[in-house]
Amino acid sequence: SSEVQVVGPADRVIALAGDDVILPCFLKPSVNAEEMAVEWTRLHLKTRNVHLYRQGRDFDDDQSPSYKGRTSMFNGEQKNGNVSLKLTNVTLSDTGNYTCFLPTLTIQVKETTVQLLVGVIPQPVISIVGTKGWGVVLKCDSGGWFPEPVMEWLDSSGTILPADGPPERHRDSEGLYAVRQHVTVDQTDTNRFTCRVNQQEINHLKETEIHVPDDMFPILTYWWKVGLSIATAAVVVLAASAGVHKWR
């Protein structure tokens, strides 16, 4: 019918490497597609076919080798117009645009495109580099990300700390991003600091926390704080004594 449409998702599909993911494709209104041909393809592959379905059967004779054993459709759901594709154990190389094409439909637009974005989110690593002034210099490294992430430092209360300059970034031969950033922290009540790496495009983040021992901070900082505490206590005592003397 000319009223039937091939419908895909309104937004791109997002997954993490290793996940199973569904690429949605439906006939709207729902029409029995059990005896129809369904071709899932992807551009820029030597063999474009990702999954073929014809006359109630799946065919893998001309399937791209990278998808062997990883694709399936929802048998029994085709009668409800559901011709979605399930893709298992996705990898970074699965990122791209997929076409759901029904060649036997007698309509002008017989296909829809589904965009898949696969992300990788490794754990950041913190190390203590040295000291600067009265503070300790921390370094955070995180590599193997995709897409490109954002890195920031936080104190124990969640306040973002000013970093020692812009982050260092590079991309390796596989297209994965690595990022590094330094921060100089002062001694606090907790000495706990967090490196957060946020992948905004896939709405995922990873955090690593470090506790810096007191003896890592320059010793003068400690005695300066002790001296300040003693001086403050002395001022309080003198003020109290003056008040008592005046009252007498």
**Domains of the chain: which residue ranges?**
5-119, 125-222
Rounded to whole angstroms, the Cα distance separating 164 from 239 reads 42
Cβ burial of 141 (10 Å; 0-12, 13-18, 19+) is middle
pLDDT tens string 179-206: 999 999 999 999 999 999 998 888 888 9
pLDDT tens string 50-102: 999 988 888 877 889 999 999 999 988 999 999 999 999 999 899 999 999 99
Output the pTM of the full model: 0.71
In the predicted model, is pLDDT for residue 44 greater than 80? no
Q: What is the CATH number of domain 5-119?
A: 2.60.40.10
In the predicted model, is pLDDT for residue 244 greater than 50? no
Whether residue 95 contacts residue 48, with contact meaning beta carbons closer than 8 Å, is answered with no
Rounded to whole angstroms, the Cα distance separating 84 from 194 reads 41
Note whether 5-119 and 125-222 share their fold.
yes
Q: What is the CATH number of domain 125-222?
A: 2.60.40.10
Q: How confident is the model at residue 121 (pLDDT cuts 50, 70, 90)?
A: confident
